[in-house]
Amino acid sequence: MDKDNLYDGKNMALFEEEMDSNPMVSSLLNKLANYTNLTQGVKEHEEYEDRKRKEMKETRMGTFIGVYLPCLQNILGVILFLRLTWIVGSAGVLESFCIVLMCCLCTMLTAISMSAIATNGVVPAGGSYYMISRSLGPEFGGAVGLCFYLGTTFAGAMYILGTIEILLTYISPYAAIFPIEQEDPQAMLNNMRVYGTCIIALMAVVVFVGVKYVNKLALVFLACVILSIMAIYAGVIKSAFDPPDFPICLLGNRVLAKRSLDICAKYISNNTINEALWNKFCITTNYSTTCDPYFIANNLTEIQGIPGVASGVLLDNLWSGYSKKGSIVERNQTSSSAGEGQKAYSQNYILTDIMTYFTMLVGIYFPSVTGIMAGSNRSGDLKDAQKSIPFGTILAIATTSFIYLSCVVLFGACIEGALLRDKFGEAVSGQLVIGTLAWPSPWVIVIGSFFSTCGAGLQSLTGAPRLLQAIARDGIVPFLQVFGHGKANGEPTWALLLTAGICEIGILIASLDSVAPILSMFFLMCYMFVNLACALQTLLRTPNWRPRFKYYHWTLSFVGMSLCLALMFICSWYYALVAMLIAGCIYKYIEYRGAEKEWGDGIRGLSLNAARYALLRVEHGATHTKNWRPQILVLVNLDSEQNVKHPRLLSLTTQLKAGKGLTIVGSVLQGTFLDKHVEAQKGEENVKALMTAEKTKGFCQLVVSPSVRDGMSHLIQAAGLGGMKHNTVLMAWPNSWKQPNNPYSWKPFVDTVRDATTAQQALLVAKNIDSFPTNQERFAEGNVDVWWIVHDGGMLMLLPFLLRQHKVWRKCRMRIFTVAQMDDNSIQMKKDLQMFLYHLRLDAEVEVVEMFENDISAFTYEKTLMMEQRSQMLKQMQLSKNEREREAQIIHDRNTASHSAVIAKSSNAAPERVQMTWTKEKLIAEKHKVKDLNVTGYRDIFNMKPNQSNVRRMHTAVKLNEVVLNRSQHAQLVLLNMPGPPKNKQGDENYMEFLEVLTEGLNRVLLVRGGGREVITIYS
């Protein structure tokens, strides 16, 4: 449509000038509904995801395939089949039930919080990372997202280790590359490493080929899981009336390993000894035979490993039976250590491979419930993530929680306690313990668990690279950006390679029991922050917090967060601290190096509420002297390109503040805001960029004002908010104040000094600011000299102390000079000053300089005369300028009067003639009068005598300058009391001359004026 015809209608004519930037809502409704034209905090990420995936993804997944099945498959993983029976046997039914219930409750509360966050807007790729980062900010989101990525990656390693354990222990023990011997546990670990590396490579290729193949295989793997669970329940039902025949052999109370034991008896029929058994417990030498004393003292009995659900074995399995590493598994829920004499025969018994206790079992079990975010991690592949993630996740958790809790009770009710504590099924000829309960065959469980763990590993290798890709595309961690790229269809190739590499680290650990607690830490930390995010958003009542999922409350989120934190320290307090340290390091790195993102996160809202509360608290009372520190307003000037003229002012600010307190960098742009708003925006960006480069932590405030002097005054009066206002003004000395083309350039400076004094604010003026050190420089030696002439509240004492906290000035010594007059006792003054510094806890050299009154030198007289002549000449020049303006006005008035006279003459309504005020003769006479006055004025300049008051002030400046130069000419910095401007504004230009003479010949000078209050105290 032609633009001229676009706004033909008159109903919207009032808005037609803004249509280009603010289009009509009617033209945007479709785009708003599809989230394609909203300027959100992650606009680039969301638009890229929506556009790319709509173009390249042919099909998207629903709740069942996209969320429910991946969650079910990840939750019902390796721990259920390989470790749950052992956990029940070690902790007992009651404590195991508590472990499972506590972990399932933790994940259910997390899922409720996650559902609320997921339904509060569009969730693109990244799932859990996206939800946390948009709720808690990029720092928290990046830290927790990377920890969750590491957890998901190590979960893949755990599933692969479980796959290999099933393969080499229960399916094909002879496939081991390194022969597995009980005396050499490293052989099994080495097998794990070799096979694990091969399986990782194979799975990475499958994932690289395409996620759709993984999704198709997921159905097959999940079918195996379901069949395995059905086989368990079927075996439980069958055990009620027909228990399976899996006898276990006991020597006394001790369980024997049944690897090569066919007959569980010492004697065969007709009193024939069981030679195979006696050879295991007796060692025959040339002269004698030595047998295990426990073997001689106890008989062998055979009991059923699966007595059945109706046997009443549940009562025996209620209580825990924890043991130390290397203990012998016994029937009566206790474990005994093999004595020194029995260690030779210990290979005949079943030994515990690790020490068991409640908190350790929590850490091993918790990864079995950590698959709850398998669906949310693939949110970019879902048709409707807001609907699918809550429903699918909560349904999967409810399903698996029922399975786990029922299995705990059923295992305790069906299986003998000694067999439950047999981790690898050595008492039943090396069969999978849970498989002995299954019906129709143990192989159903073995094959089902094998494919289940394979599928869970594939799901982890599918979800983790997408999580890393989402983090990389957000750009919050600069060195990860390369992992945001992938294949043409969006598959994360580089992220997959990194994931496989990290997964290999878990494989090299090679122990499922060692990898499991590591996962628990990372997942628990992620779940804790999901609950925190939901609670925070709910309590802050953010206007944008409008989740469709209504079944949540902040108390549930808080309980979930507390439970996650408690579980972290229950599992392993040192692992918890390490995980928090890793997350903290990532947080600080993102804060220091990452790109700034405004995502409307809850932490920003919390910061605003906390800032408001703190400001209201600060407003109630004045700052105590002990808490006083310079809150600085830095007044900078901008050049024609809107760049800061003196960047070293910000360097000095950083060195003085060290990141503490308030810093406001202000500047004034002359003009009107309507005309200068573009320049003002550019200037503000330049100032902020310089603040970042100089590491100046603070705020920027740029004001557009018709005059620089008014703008400076507005900044001094209005900068800051509430109790967070500046109390000190820092500015540079105007080096160009003597320029002839702008003789009154010093006037804004003097007026600013007066404004700061009136506002009772301290003033710091840096002379020769461009020679001040940068933040990268270091003074190896030198002095910071303080010339304490008058007391101004202790600012002169405090400033060098603050400067020496910075690395630039740290090695400089502090020296304090004070001036003694004719009647002063200089020795007593020095003692008093030393005592004062001692009470102030300041380390400084003290020196009293005697400056006696003497006659005013001819140099001083001449200097004063030249100063007053210059001032008078400037006044004459200004007078001449005024006369020229007056002359121009005369001519203007004359022309105006002549024009009016012509009009009056031609008008019948005004017959009277207008009399001209200015005639040609009067104008010529006035011109000659002005010239005569100018000549007389300039002649008087060379005949004038200096004012005696100015001579005395000049004398003080000259003498004091001589003393300062004598002592501090080579000092790295000189701090000096700054005299106030004269009360009579007629002498302002002389004031500038006095200051110039006072600091002449010094390299770096900081003129200091106190704010009218004490800023340092001797009291604690």
- pLDDT at residue 306, as a whole number: 92
DSSP-derived secondary structure letter, 980: P
Per-residue confidence (pLDDT) for residue 366, from 0 to 100: 93
Q: Per residue in 450-486, pLDDT tens?
A: 988 888 888 788 878 888 888 888 888 888 888 888 7
Q: Kindly report, residue by residue over 193-217, the tens digit of the pLDDT.
A: 999 999 999 988 888 887 777 767 7
pLDDT at 607 > cutoff 50: yes
Q: pLDDT-based confidence at 706, cuts 50/70/90?
A: very high
Is residue 84 pLDDT above 90, yes or no? yes
Average pLDDT over residues 172-189: 77
pLDDT at 2 over 50: no
Tell me how crowded residue 774 is: count the other CB atoms within 10 A of its CB: 13
Residue (of 97, 84, 94) closest to 317 by Cα position: 94
In three-state secondary structure terms, 129 is helix
For residue 115, count CB atoms less than 10 angstroms from its CB and return exposed for 0-12, middle for 13-18, buried for 19 or more. Answer: buried
What residue spans of 310-384 are helical by DSSP H?
A: 358-365
Mean pLDDT over 978-983 rounds to 82
What local confidence, expressed as pLDDT, does residue 978 receive? 87
CA distance 842 to 857: 39
Distance (Å, whole) CA 28 – CA 39: 13
The residues, any chain, with a CB within 8 Å of residue 392's CB and separated by 6 or more, are 63, 64, 66, 67, 68, 71, 375
DSSP readout, 268-310? Answer: EGGGEE-HHHHHHHEEE-SS-EEE-HHHHHS-EEEEES---TT
DSSP 632-644: EEEEE-B-TTS-B
Share of the chain above pLDDT 70, in %: 77
Per-residue pLDDT tens over the stretch 348-392: 788 888 889 999 999 999 998 987 877 776 666 777 777 888 899
Task: Please check whether residue 207 is in contact with residue 458, taking contact to mean a CB–CB distance below 8 angstroms.
Answer: yes
pLDDT value, residue 684: 93
Cα torsion at 449, 454, 457, 461 (round to 10°)? Answer: -160
Q: Which single residue is written with the structure tokens 């002990």?
A: 626
